[in-house]
Structure 1
Amino acid sequence: MSTPVQLPFEQANVLHLAPGLRALQTRGAVHRVRTPEGGEAWLVTGHAEVRQLLDDDRLSRNNPDPAAKDSGSALLASLLGGFATDHGRLRALLEPHFSPERMAELRPYVEKVTGQLLDQLAERKPPVDLRETVALSLPIQVMCEWLGVPQEDKDRFGGWTQDAANVGDPVRSKQGLGGLFGYCKQLVADKRANPGDDAISRICATEGITDDEVLGLTALLLFGGYETTVARIGTCAVLLLSDPEQWQALVDDPSLVPGAVEETLRRSMPNPHNGGMPRYAVTDFEIDGAAIRTGDFVLLNVIAANHDEAAFADPDRVDITRDTAGSLAFGHGAYNCVGAALARMQLQVVLTQLVTRFPALRLAAGVDELRLRHDTLIGGLVQLPVRW
């Protein structure tokens, strides 16, 4: 077996696949690598292979070695690991709350808040940080409205989710997770006693669900619906603003916005240091000539898969008219992101209002000056300065 290649791959800038990752991808779909913690893993970069393994019961999210030291944030280990234990049942509990009907009911609120945030943006003198003024503010308000969290508490749980997602400070991550779970425990108790017309109350009313299950799902939704959407709004905007031709196409025809959202999600670079979605082999198998053994650590790199030339012609180019049906931005199969509809809806609303109200919007810094966040599980931009 060849010597493992060291992870992580350094990011050239926010627009391009890391050179080391691209070089590996040209040599095959599955690679032996060494993680930053010093362990060995299989890195899967091919689109067909990642797609297959995302929905493959030969892999598990749970580490089979109970003595193994978790990498990343405490949140990843606690939330995703618990969700994987009874994934099918818990997913079935969540799906009705993301139905088209529920999203249609929520959309006017998203449109109203987005309009208010853009009103505030218009009153400021450029350059203005779009991440701070819109991306950080919208998702947290939407999650409060949808889940039934008091708006006055948004800054509290927003801070906890950011701390819990920290990958550089384990103590901070655990403290954030503790704060988030403590808050959610009280929130669930309040919804049990005084239910309302919100997602948490409806989950609590599900027959047979336990308080611990509601608690875990609430914490997962608060994190998944906030941090990830913040990152996606920023990367969606920068990918389009860095290509004036594509931006102008949207200004001329806002009906292209849904396609632009899907294409920027495919091209998104949310996390510069994460090798991929972590999985563990529960049996021996082969893929692309690689012999995977029971217990092996496997990283499914969705970013690389979405830049695979075998799946997408000229994959580094943004094309808002591209057929993105094969995109793995929200996973695949049984592990397709249950909250994809909510994220898509927010991105569509933000982008539609931006191209309508700020047609002359442009970056106020060079792309090479923009930086990705290295201290958090989700990544995203540090800042996104814009002019108009």
Structure 2
Amino acid sequence: MTTVTPEPLPTERPRGCPFDPPSGLRDRPRLSRMVYADGHVGWLVTGHALARSVAADRRFSSRHELMRLPVARAGFTGPLPPATPGMFIGLDAPEHTRYRRLLAGKFTVRRMNTLAERVGEITAECLDAMAAHGPGLDLVPVFAQAVPALVICELLGVPTDDRERFQRLAEAANDLDAGLEETQAAMEELGGYIAGLVREKAETPTDDLLSDLTTGDLSFEELVTVGTLLLGAGLDTTANMLGLGVFALLTHPDQIPVMREGPEAVEKAVEELLRYLTIAHTGVRVALEDVELAGQVIRAGESVTIAAQAANRDPEKFADPDTLDLRRDSAGHLSFGHGPHQCLGQQLARVELRVALAGLFARFPTLRLAVPADEVPVRRHADIHGVHSLPVTWDGE
């Protein structure tokens, strides 16, 4: 019998195609052995059906202290520390369930859809600023970062003057090249600001989510952690999805007309962009007991990395998966995860993406890249995929 040597997680994306997963990842079986940053030997899942199975199976834990890092971060390779109070993404039931129930009702489809009008107003303000500047600018700070930053700051009750600071801190926290001290400093600065905001909201509540949370049974420490988590997640992920999404559309100009065909077409188009780009690459679970999966036994204590970017390109789930097709039915993609830890803010992200992208291409029908596509600086070593900048231009009025 041939012995297969476990290999690290492939991370190098193919040159010239910034939207495709790492080529080595696509070559791996749907379930294979993988060596982690600290030498731990666990598993890698690339198949769509297996990824959904692991994400939904409560025999696999999300507890931080059990996890191993799939790739090394500067200055840190070992197991994660236990989740702090309120860090619900690093907990299992019943602790996770408590937070989930508290927050889920505040991010329902209905409630997020009611925000569409306000998201439209914020988008229009950003597009007005673009028009006032004139052709030739970096779309990232004025649009891709600005729209979600203004939305999440308003939702949580954070002064909009602080949005650039939060964007910088969120990027630092997700930079795999940043040292441990730099990452911790960014998180501490963000947490310190939220702590002051929580005290202010508790004393003088306003009409926002953070004020609403202070009236519940969360402790001060839990409120700070939850607020920091929601703010960071609401900024960096959607900002990068907008930037990379526009980049993808501008390099597939035949697809852009779909964005002007009305709400149903835009809704389907956004789901396809989410599938095709999969900006959140991976998730990790740890077996709490021996689990048989695809003919293999995952031993208790072994880590399993779910490669969502590969699962979303699985030809057994999506025909011709490497083609961006805004008219395809992309239901079932794993860009927001699956199971009990599925992204809490997914409906908010969907509303922002639909409104902002449709508004952009309606307002600037001649929008195009101002540099060759291979000169656009891509975030190649970060937890969240995206672009550092996106130089664009259009025909002046």
With structure 2 as the length reference, what TM-score do the two structures score? 0.88
Residue pair 1:59, 1:279 contacting (<8 A) in 2 also: yes
Paired residues for 1:327-346 under 5 Å? 327-346=333-352
- Provide the C-alpha distance between the structure 2 equivalents of 1:81 and 1:364, rounded to a whole number of angstroms: 39
Query: Counterpart of 1:349?
Result: 355
Post-superposition Cα deviations, 1:119-170, rounded to whole Å, max 9, x if no partner, equal 1212334332211220111111111110011222223333322222232221
Identity of aligned residues (%): 36
Residues 231 and 380, structure 1, Cα contact 8 Å, conserved in 2: yes
Residue pair 1:14, 1:367 contacting (<8 A) in 2 also: no
**C-alpha contact 2:13 2:22 (8 A) present in aligned 1:** yes
Aligned to 1:385: 391
How far does residue 177 in structure 1 lie from its aligned partner after superposition? 0.8
- Structure 1: distance between partners of 2:248 and 2:321: 13
Distance 2:71 2:61 in 1: 15
| Kept after mapping to 2: 8 A contact 1:61/1:279 | yes
**Separation (CA, whole Å) in 2 of partners of 1:241 and 1:68:** 34
| Contact 1:58/1:282 (<8 A) preserved | yes
SS at match of 2:105: helix
CA contact (8 A) 1:228 1:378 kept: yes
Q: Secondary structure at the match of 1:300?
A: strand
| CA distance in 2: counterparts of 1:11 and 1:370, whole angstroms | 15
2:329 match: 323
* CA distance in 2 between partners of 1:145 and 1:291 (Å): 48
Change (3 A) 1:67 1:246: closer
Aligned twin of 2:43: 42
Determine helix, strand or coil for the equivalent of 2:243: helix
Q: What is the CA–CA distance in structure 2 between the aligned matches of 1:131 and 1:18, rounded to whole Å?
A: 24
Give me the CA root mean square deviation. Answer: 2.5
Task: Tell me, in whole angstroms, the C-alpha distance in 2 between the residues paired with 1:37 and 1:354.
Answer: 44
**C-alpha contact (below 8 Å) 1:308/1:315 kept by paired residues:** yes
CA distance in structure 2 between the aligned counterparts of 1:309 and 1:42, rounded to whole angstroms = 21
- Counterpart position of 1:199: 209
Asked if 1:257 is matched to 2:266, the reply is yes
Match of 1:233 among 238, 242, 261: 242
Q: Distance in 2 between matches of 1:340 and 1:250?
A: 20
SS in 2 for 1:110: helix
Which residue in 1 is equivalent to 2:309?
Answer: 303
Quote how far apart the aligned CAs of 1:222 are.
0.5
- Which residue of structure 2 lines up, in the alignment, with residue 284 of structure 1? 290
* CA distance 1:66–1:359, change in 2 (3 Å): closer
Query: After TM superposition, what 4+ stretches of structure 1 lie above 6 angstroms from structure 2?
Result: 66-70
Please say if 1:23 is aligned against 2:24. Answer: no
Aligned counterparts of 1:383 and 1:357: Cα–Cα separation in 2: 20
Cα drift, residue 63 of structure 1? 4.7
Matches of residues 173-184 of structure 1 in structure 2 within 5 Å?
A: 173-184=183-194
Given residue 8 of structure 1, which amino acid in structure 2 is its aligned partner? Answer: P
Amino acid at match of 2:23: P
* Alpha-carbon separation, structure 1, partners of 2:71 and 2:358: 41
Change (3 A) 1:171 1:80: farther
AA aligned opposite 1:192? A
Gaps of 5+ in 2: none
**Aligned-residue offset at 1:282:** 0.8
Q: Distance in 2 between matches of 1:92 and 1:72?
A: 32
Task: Determine the C-alpha separation between the residues in 1 that align with 2:67 and 2:273.
Answer: 38
Judged with a 3 Å threshold, the aligned counterparts in structure 2 of structure 1 residues 68 and 260 are, in CA distance, closer, same or farther, namely closer
Question: In the aligned structure 2, how far is the partner of 1:69 from the partner of 1:308?
Answer: 21
- For 2:346 and 2:7, the matched residues in 1 are separated by 33
Cα distance in structure 1, aligned partners of 2:274 and 2:347: 13
Cα shift readout 1:346-381 (whole Å, capped 9, x = no counterpart): 101111111211112222333333332145322311
SS at 2:175's partner residue?
coil
Determine if contact 1:166/1:172 at 8 Å carries over to the other structure. no
- Shift of residue 192 of structure 1? 1.0
Q: Which residue type is aligned with residue 53 of structure 2? A: Q
Match of 2:142 among 133, 136, 150: 133
Report how many aligned residue pairs link the two structures: 380
1:51 corresponds to which letter in structure 2?
R
Q: Per-residue deviation at 1:97?
A: 1.2
1:235: Cα distance to partner?
A: 2.0
- 1:80: Cα distance to partner? 5.6
1:66 and 1:143, CA in 2 relative to 1: closer, same or farther beyond 3 A? Answer: closer
Q: Secondary structure at the match of 1:43?
A: strand
Aligned with 1:113 (options 122, 144, 157): 122
Summarize the Cα distance change of 1:233–1:67 in structure 2 as closer, same or farther, 3 Å threshold: closer
Counterpart AA for 2:13: Q
Alpha-carbon distance between aligned partners in 1 of 2:89 and 2:122, rounded to the nearest angstrom: 34
Q: Distance in 2 between matches of 1:361 and 1:69?
A: 38
Where does residue 360 of structure 1 map in the other structure?
366
Give the SS at the match of 2:18: coil
Q: Secondary structure at the match of 1:280?
A: strand
